[in-house]
Structure 1
Amino acid sequence: MKTADPTRVIAAARSWLGTPYHDQASLRGGGCDCLGLARGIWREVVGPEPFPIPPYSRDWGETGQREVLADGVRQMMPEVPVQLAGSGALILFRMMPRAIAKHVGILTGPDTFLHAYERLGVIEEPLTPTWRRRIAFAFLFPAL
């Protein structure tokens, strides 16, 4: 599968900077959560969303046998090893040990990423060791 130009993905992601946090929303400038940010980038870089997203829990400590978010993303985007993920990759974070991955961000450089975070909205920040060790999965946006 051909993948999207990382500079295009990053430009789309940065156009969301400053968007306020709003649970389960996906409107640039109006509000979004981390998944809504990824959905908005998808619409700009790839095209219409392939299916509606069902309501989901905000519980970052949720555990289970199935990585629901990763399994869903895998249906639409090629997975890459976390260590090989570069700028423009969609990364999924496991926010608590033994919890399923439920937070999403976009790598914008080797040491930076962009995400929607409660109370802060869409921000770009350093990929500190604390954030880096939480990365559980990485995917690439497909080309149009």
Structure 2
Amino acid sequence: MGARMDVVQAARGWLGTPYRHQASVRGAGTDCLGLLRGVWRELYGAEPEAVPAYSMDWSEPQGEERMWAAARRHLSEAPRDGLEPGNVLLFRMRAGAVAKHVGIVAGTGTRPSFVHAYSGRGVLESPLSEPWLKRVVARFEFPLEVL
């Protein structure tokens, strides 16, 4: 199994985990960032930096792109066009808001999908439909050379 599929397998291991704001414990609770953090720990060990407490609005009042900045520090930027299994997608949930949702591409081709933690739903694999694709503002990759 290739490195990209290792990312997908790790993400799918979180399916069914309930949604819990600021949590990152497989099977017990997580939010979308917690899912990404948990996959990182499974693949690499310790997280690259401590995550400060954050509110549900994700710095929207200040207009700060905190999640985007953190992704740039620890992941490799990838072109926005095209999808590869294991890509990390950053979403802007509404126009003018900060990017504050993240998911991991699981399926590509004619039935693209992504794994994410969604408030009220938990961790699920969702179709990467046109409404979701329109919200993608950046695409990243885990540092695959060290997997």
Instruction: Report if TM-score (shorter chain) is over 0.5.
Output: yes
Question: What amino acid is aligned across from residue 81 of structure 2 in structure 1?
Answer: Q
**5+ long unaligned stretches in structure 2:** none
Report runs of 4+ in structure 1 exceeding 3 Å deviation: 63-66
Residue among 73, 76, 83 paired with 1:75: 73
- Identity among equivalent positions (%) equals 48
Instruction: Return closer, same or farther for 1:23/1:65 CA change in 2, 3 Å cut-off.
Output: closer
Residue among 33, 36, 60 paired with 1:35: 33
CA-to-partner distance for each residue in 1:75-100, whole Å, 9 max, x for gaps?
11110111134110111100010111
Residue among 96, 99, 103 paired with 2:97: 99
Tell me what 1:133 maps to. Answer: 134
Question: What amino acid is aligned across from residue 97 of structure 1 in structure 2?
Answer: A
Larger relative contact order (CA 8 Å, sep ≥ 6) = 1
**CA distance in 2 between partners of 1:74 and 1:90 (Å):** 11
**CA distance in 2 between partners of 1:11 and 1:41 (Å):** 9
Is the partner of 1:75 in helix, strand or coil?
Answer: helix
Whether contact under 8 Å (2:104, 2:114) holds in the other structure is: yes
Aligned residues: 141
**CA distance in 1 between partners of 2:4 and 2:82 (Å):** 14
Question: What amino acid is aligned across from residue 119 of structure 2 in structure 1?
Answer: E
**CA distance in 2 between partners of 1:84 and 1:128 (Å):** 14
Whether contact under 8 Å (1:63, 1:98) holds in the other structure is: no
Tell me what 1:50 maps to. Answer: 48
**5+ long unaligned stretches in structure 1:** none
Whether contact under 8 Å (2:92, 2:100) holds in the other structure is: yes
Is the partner of 1:124 in helix, strand or coil?
Answer: strand
Is the partner of 1:83 in helix, strand or coil?
Answer: coil
**CA distance in 1 between partners of 2:138 and 2:62 (Å):** 16
Tell me what 1:18 maps to. Answer: 16
Question: What amino acid is aligned across from residue 98 of structure 1 in structure 2?
Answer: G
Q: CA deviation at 1:42?
A: 0.4
Q: CA deviation at 1:63?
A: 5.5
